[in-house]
Amino acid sequence: MQYETSENAGVIEVKLHGRVTYSDHPSFRSVISMIKESAATKLVFDVADVEFIDSAGLGMLLMVRDTAAQKNAQVVLKGPKGQVQRIFASSKFDSLFTIQL
């Protein structure tokens, strides 16, 4: 997985690319550190360019959500497609995140 982050007007945007799997925990650690240090009230994870996510990747997004919740920040998952959209639906992520198609 590759990712880029930007922060503007209280919104952190994290754009993910490629495959999100168990091997990406160091990247999520960096992103979670950034969230902890920020005063942002909204996090947008742009997953439009993610081609594959596994159950560990889902778990790491849930950990991001927990971190955001501690700071009363909202998490948006933006642009899921294909396999990512399907696994979000079957895992009922729409009950936990705002999903923006």
Do the beta carbons of residue 54 and residue 21 sit within 8 Å?
yes
Q: Counting contacts by CB under 8 A, is residue 56 touching other proteins?
A: yes
* Class of residue 43 by CB neighbours under 10 A (exposed 0-12, middle 13-18, buried 19+): buried
Q: Which stretch binds other proteins (CB under 8 A): 2-10, 22-30, 37-45, 70-78?
A: 22-30
With CB under 8 A as the contact rule, the residue among 2, 6, 55, 98 that binds other proteins is 55
Do the beta carbons of residue 68 and residue 43 sit within 8 Å?
yes
Residues between 69 and 98 with contacts to other proteins, criterion CB under 8 A: 82-83, 86-87, 90-93, 95-96
| Helix, strand, coil tally for the chain in percent (to 5) | 45, 35, 20
The nearer residue to other proteins, 48 or 62, going by C-beta atoms, is: 62
Residues between 33 and 52 with contacts to other proteins, criterion CB under 8 A: 52
